[in-house]
Chain A
Amino acid sequence: RKEVEQDPGPFNVPEGATVAFNCTYSNSASQSFFWYRQDCRKEPKLLMSVYSSGNEDGRFTAQLNRASQYISLLIRDSKLSDSATYLCVVNIAFIDTDKLIFGTGTRLQVFP
């Protein structure tokens, strides 16, 4: 089983739509959680951290359920510029260092 699992998509949605991505992780030693955005052939960039209480940043809302080991990202009022791959990322503490473990990503395509 992969440590971080995501639906690869693609999700094809019209402008203005609301879309939700889900992610599950298997390692209970996971300490912190993030959503990164990766555009085609580019490096990942942090979209937002995910906190247990849930957090919102403009049109983006992230939620974490530690009991179910589940993370979600909700995008409201989708824009064309939201088209990208969204990576669910988990920070796991190992003996010698922390490591970021990436999901395969969910591809979003917003059309006019």
Chain B
Amino acid sequence: GAVVSQHPSWVICKSGTSVKIECRSLDFQATTMFWYRQFPKQSLMLMATSNEGSKATYEQGVEKDKFLINHASLTLSTLTVTSAHPEDSSFYICSASPGGQPLPNTEAFFGQGTRLTVV
């Protein structure tokens, strides 16, 4: 099946620093990728939709200046958490579907997730 690779799988950083997370589709092109965040014992919450060659679309309540998204190629999207604070500690996970958007009945493939801890 399709593979989405996310890196790093975990990162610990100091408060105030920035962290970049990469999401790659390994065997298909993805014009659209999605970034989610999951706090312990909670659901995956969509943060933003990453669009190749154009600006990302952010969900309500997600600060676009804090969570910078770049989708420079059809196989790579990056999420940068700027000036990270302890409350940003979470599990960040990306997804993509062959063909782009998660069309009805099309499986979405997820990266392995990145566990961010800000100390």
Cβ of A77 within 8 Å of any chain B Cβ, yes or no, is no
For B60, list chain A residues within 8 Å (CB). none
Contacts of B105 in A (CB 8 A): 32, 49
If A103-B43, A104-B42 touch, whether A98 touches B113 (CB-CB below 8 Å) is no
A4→B91 CA distance, assembly (Å): 20
| A43-B93, A45-B110 known; A97+B104 contact, CB < 8 A | no
User: Is A102 in contact with B49, judged by CB distance below 8 angstroms?
Assistant: no
**Do A101 and B46 have beta carbons less than 8 Å apart?**
yes
Number of interface residues of B (CB under 8 A): 26
Name A1-48 residues within 8 Å CB distance of B.
4, 8, 31-32, 34, 41-46
Is B101's CB under 8 angstroms from A43's CB?
no
Please give, as numbers and ranges, the residues of chain A lying within 8 Å of B75 by CB-CB distance.
none
Query: In angstroms, how far is the closest chain A Cβ from the Cβ of B100?
Result: 9
Q: Determine if B43 and A100 form an interchain contact, defined as CB atoms under 8 angstroms apart.
A: no
- Considering only residues 31-60 of chain B, those with a C-beta below 8 Å from chain A are 32, 34, 36, 41-46, 49, 57
B7 at the interface (CB under 8 A from A): no
Contact with B along A68-112 (1 / 0, CB 8 A): 000000000000000000010001000011111111110000000
List 20 additional A-B contacts (Cβ < 8 Å) besides A41-B115, A100-B102, A100-B108: A4-B43, A41-B91, A42-B112, A44-B93, A45-B110, A46-B107, A49-B105, A49-B107, A87-B43, A91-B102, A96-B49, A98-B101, A98-B102, A98-B104, A99-B34, A99-B49, A99-B102, A102-B44, A103-B43, A104-B41
8 chain-A/chain-B pairs, Cβ below 8 angstroms: A42-B112, A44-B110, A91-B102, A98-B103, A99-B34, A100-B102, A102-B36, A102-B45
**A-B pairs with lowest CB-CB distance, top 10:** A43-B110, A32-B104, A104-B43, A102-B44, A102-B43, A31-B104, A46-B107, A98-B101, A32-B105, A43-B113
